Amino acid sequence: MHPIPAITITRLKEFVRRPEALFWVYFFPVLMIIVLGNAFQNQPIETFNVDVIENDHAASVVDQLSDQSQIKTRLVDVEESSRRLRLGKSVLAITAGPDVEGQKQLAYRFDAKRPGASTAHNTVDDILQAANGRTDVFTAETTQLEESGGTYVDFLVPGLLGIGLMGGGMWGVGFAVVDMRIRRLLKRYMATPMRRSHFLISMMLSRLVFMIPQIALTLLVAYWMFDFRIYGSVAAVVFLVVLGAFEFAAVGLMVGSRAQTIETASGLMNFVMLPMYTLCGAFFSYERFPEIFHPLIRWLPLTPIIDSLRSVMMDGESLFAQWPEILVMTIWSVIPFGIAMLIFRWRD
Amino acid sequence: MTFAIRCEELTKTYPGKPPVEAVRGISFEVQVGECYGVLGPNGAGKTTTIEILEGLLDATSGSAEVLGMQWGRDDNAIRQRIGVSLQETRLSERLTVEETLKLFRSFYAGGISPVEAMDRVSLGEKKNAWIKNLSGGQKQRLAVATALVGDPDLIFLDEPTTGLDPSSRRELWGIIESFAAAGKTVLLTTHYMEEAERLCDRVAIFDSGKIITEGTPDGLIRSLGAEHVIEFSTDRLLNDDDIQTLRGIESVDQVELLGEDYRVSLGQPHRVLPKLINHLSANEIAMTGLTTRSASLEDVFVAKTGHKLSDD
């Protein structure tokens, strides 16, 4: 047999003979979709904990807020209120004073940086203003987004595919070569006529083969449970996934090119992967980070695969429109591979 | 005359502070069909030398020729015709014996079938066993089988029996002997004297990165001039006069203190023993231990370096 199929087949056999690895690679993304998809799909309307400072005038405020299911009020003293605000147990504190010339006297305290605090402030203020006689100037029509293609699952699936490709390349190629180096198996191979290029091609090929069930399973579960649809071309998705797999195989190879202990390898892997988990928009849009970081984030290896998959899957955009992402992914495939070839420790 | 291996003035210095000179000018030749042993304590430069010859390390200076070819010029051609077993390679645990041999066979242009390789190392029954379920001896035999599967003309075995029990060791010796019997060349490193005496046509004794002596095992032992060794220990140290008296006994060659034992090399134990015991009892020195044996390569090493080869 030619060495490329021979190495690829043994890699696949080793992989399927590790049930725990199969679980993490194949079922973890599925589990994430089920858990996160459910958590966000059946999300109840956000409620706010609002404290009212205990005094003679508190009762009317509590009363006016009482039939709002979105607001949960609680009577507390000043000290307790400060403590609860600090700990995030409530997002807003209201102090009511005696009416002056028929006007209600209110003071709000909140930390605008806390999630929900500003919304709570605006909502509570609107309710109290209306209860005390303010009328709306006009009535606007509002429509809630509910059609498919715009839900959190539609947003999440491309993110999870990207994370799966990253994990696969980093662990499946980068960590695997370090493990072979530590076992002195790489060195043993170097004492045979095996070609280095055959070895590397086989490592990448076996990654591509492992990846097919991983991607398919993720998409099928998203389809069955959440009616997930791909709006763009399937061929474009396949192209992007394969490019993403090569990109992370190359990055993984570079990260694993010199490490000689498991600790070094794990440290390097985490150093590379952890920032990307949060920064690259897998679970929430990176638009939430300050704008000056956006160009930097777009240059990280994980961002373009997620962005381009989202454009194609959710918006049905063409592959050509993804050229900036494809360019970044190509750069991340070629340069790390070249660096890995230059610095790779084959013989020790 | 055809040489399987020829190396001249090999040196290997690892950079560092201070630099480590692992190999300091090694030259030897191995003829085709020979089983050549590299013998020495840990840190003598055995593995460094064998890895230079296997093409896994670059020498700092010197030249090495393997099967008439040069590393750096004919690498692939050399690798097609050599087989290698490194110290402590951990093969993939979740592959079977047969799968492992098929994989290694795929790297070579020609060779024997994986089944034949298994038979040569008597692992046929373990064909479908995962490597993690093999014993230490079976793993080592499989490592040798991966060296044989490309049908090499020359095999390198780096401490093939270290850590194995005596019966596994003898099994491996049988495998190496039958390979050598087919006219193939073997280079092995070991720190077991018995192994070198049994398997090797010629041995080189390494110490501190140099060859201190080279020859056939018998020839080296005979060169000691004394074929027997008496080792004994006493309840108190002997003084210089005692040593002089012992040295004066007929056929005694050398008397040395090694650790807590005195080692006497000699020709005729039946003449020396009564005189030794008489001298000790006349001086009221109690003997606390006594062994007599034939001289071995270990004694050659001691005679050349003044220290013991190994602690076991």
Which tens digits make up the pLDDT trace of B200-243? 999 999 999 999 999 999 899 888 877 888 999 998 888 888 88
Domains of chain B: total: 2
**Which chain B residues have a beta carbon less than 8 Å from that of A188?**
84, 86, 89, 91, 146
Per-residue pLDDT at A8: 95
**Which chain A residues have a beta carbon less than 8 Å from that of B56?**
187, 190-191, 347
Please tell me whether residues B159 and B254 are part of one structural domain: no
Please tell me whether residues B36 and B99 are part of one structural domain: yes
Cβ contact (<8 Å) for B92 and A10?
A: yes
Residue range A231-278, pLDDT digits in tens:
889 999 999 999 999 999 999 999 999 999 999 999 999 999 999 998
Q: Which of A1, A188, A193 lies at the smallest CB-CB distance from B89? A: A188
Please tell me whether residues B23 and B149 are part of one structural domain: yes
The parent domain of residue B253 ranges over 225-294
> How far does the CA of residue A204 sit from the closest CA of chain B (Å)?
17
Please name which of A104, A98, A117 lies closest in space to residue A55, comparing C-alpha atoms. Answer: A98
Please tell me whether residues B263 and B191 are part of one structural domain: no
Per-residue pLDDT at B66: 95
Please tell me whether residues B199 and B285 are part of one structural domain: no
Name, in order, each residue with C-beta under 8 angstroms of B156's C-beta and a sequence gap of 6 or more: B50, B53, B54, B82, B83, B84, B85, B147, B187, B188
Q: How wide is the angle at C-alpha A104 spanned by C-alphas A100 and A106, nearest 5°?
A: 110
Query: With an 8 Å Cβ cutoff, is B273 touching chain A?
Result: no
Please tell me whether residues B283 and B190 are part of one structural domain: no
Please tell me whether residues B243 and B189 are part of one structural domain: no
Please tell me whether residues B17 and B133 are part of one structural domain: yes
Q: Which CATH number fits domain A48-131: 1.20.120.790, 3.40.190.10, 3.40.50.720, 3.90.1200.10?
A: 3.40.190.10
> How far does the CA of residue A206 sit from the closest CA of chain B (Å)?
15
Please name which of B4, B37, B6, B40 lies closest in space to residue B22, comparing C-alpha atoms. Answer: B40
Residue at B285 is within a domain: yes
- Asked if A234 contacts A320 with a C-beta cutoff of 8 angstroms, the reply is no
What is the spatial distance between Cα A177 and Cα A345, in angstroms, rounded to a whole number?
Answer: 10
Domain end marker among B199, B220, B241: B220
Assess whether pLDDT exceeds 50 at residue B312.
Answer: no
Please tell me whether residues B39 and B75 are part of one structural domain: yes
pLDDT (average), residues B28-54: 93
Name, in order, each residue with C-beta under 8 angstroms of B218's C-beta and a sequence gap of 6 or more: none
Strand-pair partners of A29:
none
Look at residue B34 and give its three-state secondary structure.
coil
**ipTM of the modeled complex:** 0.88
Cβ contact (<8 Å) for A192 and B107?
A: yes
Residue range B72-125, pLDDT digits in tens:
899 999 999 999 999 888 999 999 999 999 999 999 999 999 999 999 999 999
Paired sense of beta strands B35-39 and B185-190, if any = parallel
Per-residue pLDDT at B225: 77
| Closest residue in B to A13 (Cα–Cα) | B95
Give phi and psi for B157, each to the nearest 5: -125, 115
To which residue do tokens 């998203």 refer? A222
CATH value at residue B230: 3.30.70.100
In chain A, list all ranges with CATH 3.40.190.10: 48-131
Domain end marker among B197, B220, B243: B220
Residue at B214 is within a domain: yes
Please tell me whether residues B280 and B175 are part of one structural domain: no
Please tell me whether residues B158 and B283 are part of one structural domain: no
What is the spatial distance between Cα B155 and Cα B133, in angstroms, rounded to a whole number?
Answer: 26
CATH value at residue B160: 3.40.50.300
Per-residue pLDDT at B105: 96
Q: What percent of chain B has pLDDT over 70?
A: 98
Please tell me whether residues B36 and B181 are part of one structural domain: yes
What is the spatial distance between Cα B94 and Cα B97, in angstroms, rounded to a whole number?
Answer: 10
Q: Which residues of B256-287 are buried (b: 16+ CB within 10 A; e: fewer)?
A: eeeeeebbbbbeebeebbeebeebbeeeebee
**Which chain A residues have a beta carbon less than 8 Å from that of B59?**
none
Residue at B23 is within a domain: yes
Paired sense of beta strands B287-294 and B228-234, if any = antiparallel
Q: Which residues of chain A have pLDDT under 50?
A: none
Assess whether pLDDT exceeds 60 at residue B12.
Answer: yes
Query: With an 8 Å Cβ cutoff, is B103 touching chain A?
Result: yes
